[in-house]
Amino acid sequence: MASGEVFDYQILSLAESFYKAYPNPPYREILNKEQRPYTCLLLQTRYEYFICIPYRSNISHKYAFHFRKSRRSGKCRSGLDYSKIVIIQRPDFLNPEGAVIDRDEYKETVKNIGRIRQEAESFVQDYINHTTGVEKISEEEFKRRYYYSPLPYFHQELGI
């Protein structure tokens, strides 16, 4: 998509049907907290799937969009964690009720939505390119980015 082009995004949570389809174990790398699913930023892509990026309170690596202006970000490293992206095709995997996030983090998300979309799509595309052999990155870098990623669970959705 061209810079400035309009695309859809929503802030929501994953439905119970998603967690039933991807239980832990064996899907250990999909984030889930007892009693509540993670809140995610859902991005429309030009492909047949959505990218779902979880909001997290503490992210200790650089593969994320880190909030800088929220009250919470002053206390911890909150942001959107690209390393925990999940791929969604089925609408029933999404909770139709909107999710609630910190007002400051919402504003920062909206202000930076183009950058977040580009970084998230690049993160997924780098995984696809490496996995299919189109464009390899070093094994060390691949491991650093994707060792704890749920993306290997979504090869069918990604066309791998």
Q: How much is the pLDDT for 5?
A: 47
For 9-158, CATH number out of 3.40.50.300, 3.30.70.2190, 3.40.50.720, 3.10.129.130 equals: 3.10.129.130
Q: Which residues of 105-133 are buried (b: 16+ CB within 10 A; e: fewer)?
A: beebbeeeeeebbebbbebbebbeebbee
Q: How much is the pLDDT for 45?
A: 85
Q: How much is the pLDDT for 6?
A: 47
Are 29 and 84 spatial neighbours (Cβ–Cβ below 8 Å)?
Answer: yes
Q: Where are the domains of the chain?
A: 9-158
Q: How much is the pLDDT for 65?
A: 97
Q: How much is the pLDDT for 31?
A: 86
Residues 151, 140: Cα–Cα separation, whole Å: 17
Are 151 and 127 spatial neighbours (Cβ–Cβ below 8 Å)?
Answer: yes
- Please list the rounded mean pLDDT of every run of 10 residues in the chain (160 residues): 58 92 93 74 90 93 90 79 96 86 92 96 97 96 97 96
Q: What is the pTM of this model?
A: 0.90
Q: How much is the pLDDT for 23?
A: 92
Q: How much is the pLDDT for 34?
A: 58
Q: How much is the pLDDT for 73?
A: 62
Q: How much is the pLDDT for 7?
A: 56
